[in-house]
Amino acid sequence: MDTHNIALLEGREGQVYEKRQDGPEVEIACDKTSLSGSVSQRACVFCGSRVVLYPVADAIHIVHGPIGCAAYTWDIRGAVSSGPELHRLSFSTDLQEMDVIYGGEKKLYRSLVELIDQYEPKAAFIYSTCIIGLIGDDIEAVCRKVAKEKGIPVMPVHSEGFKGTKKDGYKAACNALMKLVGTGSTEGISKYSINILGEFNLAGEAWIIREYYEKMGVQVVATMTGDGRIDDIRRSHGATLNVVQCSGSMTTLAKEMEEKYGIPYIRVSYFGFEDMSKSLYDVAALFPDRPEIMDKAKEIVRDEIRKYYPEMQQFKAALTGRKAAIYVGGAFKTFSLIKALRTVGMSVVLAGSQTGNKDDYRRLKEMCDEGTVIVDDSNPVELSKFVLEKEADLLIGGVKERPIAFKLGVGFCDHNHERKIPLAGFVGMYNFAKEVYESVMSPVWQFAPRKGGLK
């Protein structure tokens, strides 16, 4: 690929920045809708809402709209459940042309009644799609009617795709969750208790994190929303602290719970030895009257790092000097990835996100090395250009970035919602380092055109 003749699309210049010592200090443009024609990697409002809500395993999730939107839901996440698996079923009202003309409220009502009778869920979430925003179905009224008849919460999720970006979908999901929070009993909740927010139990990661906290002597009231349960969410207002892992998706909920119930929140990351350790210490520090909680946290960190340290040093010896490109959903995840890659001796030459804000990009500029390209809401052509120009050995992204990496002859690491291997916690950092090592050091790349291989 001739990257020298690839220019940024007009209107995209402000969302791309290369860190230079002698370069101008500019604010990266963000929090804006994707540029038409750029084939952006960013998803829609509906996508953002289902990312947050779908892991709630004992509720039914109904996509109100044409069948195509429902294809974006069925079993597409690595979110697993320790019990019910209603979240793995994809339900749609499958609106047809006549439904669009005459309205789909009656069809939604019939669908809800039939599904609730058949599956007996604890609650139901109804997702509005673009077409619903256009034809004006009153899903609020339908939800109230069904909730009254069936005696379970039925929450509308105003997630019409054209209303904004993926971040607006996060807000819509948080608004739906807030209708549940505070409706359950807080009996039996300890003073030393937390809610884990923004953890979606991909490949069982919530179980790993929950075990750490419980070993410390901290009760986990609710995980929102990985392996989530409606009853736990309803009583989550009884926790002492909210621990927010994916800041973009759940900060809105944490702020609303702080305002309404006085529950403070902290931001953490469970990825990498450094951030995982800090997330345990930060929680322990908020319970100073129980010093044994901090003692146990230190013991966990010591034992876990000791277990993986020898092999991590072997990975570092092989990977030192290699280069990585990062393009993921939330910028907070990028911070942890940069630290984790440095742990194994790799540098970051491209750092980008779909939903970062100005504060996120300021921090990224501080963290990144000279010459690193920082991008907001990138597209395949841009990513290809920078990966090749910066001679990256690895691209870290999600399902949409995988084909880009393989077409360019670059190693790939899946760090998004579809993966089946846990990357959180101390064992997750080991899994990540092992995957990076196997990807980057694979002998197959000698045949890639960029390495002078097969043409």
pLDDT value of position 453: 58
Task: Flag whether pLDDT at 6 surpasses 80.
Answer: no
Q: Average the pLDDT over 243-251 and give the result.
A: 84
pLDDT value of position 283: 98
Amino acid identity, position 354: Q
Q: Are residues 295 and 329 in the same domain?
A: no
- Has residue 3 been placed in a domain? no
Write phi, then psi, for 326 (nearest 5 degrees): -120, 130
Q: Are residues 279 and 384 in the same domain?
A: no
- Has residue 49 been placed in a domain? yes
Digit-coded pLDDT (tens) for 176-227: 999 999 999 999 999 999 999 999 999 999 999 999 999 999 999 999 989 9
- Has residue 253 been placed in a domain? yes
For the chain, the domain total comes to 3
Percentage of the chain beyond pLDDT 90 is: 67
- Has residue 175 been placed in a domain? no
- Has residue 314 been placed in a domain? yes
Cα–Cα distance measured from residue 126 to residue 142, given in angstroms and rounded to the nearest whole number? 10
**Boundary-marking domain end, from 259, 276, 301:** 301
Digit-coded pLDDT (tens) for 393-434: 999 998 888 999 999 999 999 887 778 889 999 999 999 999
Q: Are residues 283 and 153 in the same domain?
A: no
Strands 265-267 and 123-128: unpaired
Q: Average the pLDDT over 318-323 and give the result.
A: 96
Q: Are residues 126 and 71 in the same domain?
A: yes
Q: Are residues 295 and 373 in the same domain?
A: no
Rounded to 5°, the CA angle 108-110-114 comes to 115
- Has residue 379 been placed in a domain? yes
- Has residue 79 been placed in a domain? yes
Q: Are residues 386 and 326 in the same domain?
A: yes
Q: Are residues 22 and 75 in the same domain?
A: no
**Boundary-marking domain end, from 120, 144, 164:** 164
Tell the burial category of 46 from Cβ atoms under 10 Å away from its Cβ (0-12, 13-18, 19+). buried
Q: Are residues 353 and 331 in the same domain?
A: yes
pLDDT value of position 23: 66
Please tell me the number of Cα atoms within 13 Å of 168 on its side-chain side: 16
- Has residue 211 been placed in a domain? yes
pLDDT value of position 69: 84
Q: How confident is the model at residue 174 (pLDDT cuts 50, 70, 90)?
A: very high
Q: Could you tell me the residue range of the domain that residue 84 belongs to?
A: 45-164
CA 279 to chain centre: 17
pLDDT value of position 302: 97
Q: Are residues 314 and 441 in the same domain?
A: yes
Q: Are residues 124 and 258 in the same domain?
A: no
**Boundary-marking domain end, from 259, 275, 301:** 301
Q: Are residues 154 and 268 in the same domain?
A: no
Instruction: Specify the CATH number for the domain of residue 241.
Output: 3.40.50.1980
Q: Are residues 326 and 421 in the same domain?
A: yes
Task: Flag whether pLDDT at 303 surpasses 80.
Answer: yes
CA-nearest of 324, 323, 354, 391 to 40 is 354
Amino acid identity, position 314: Q
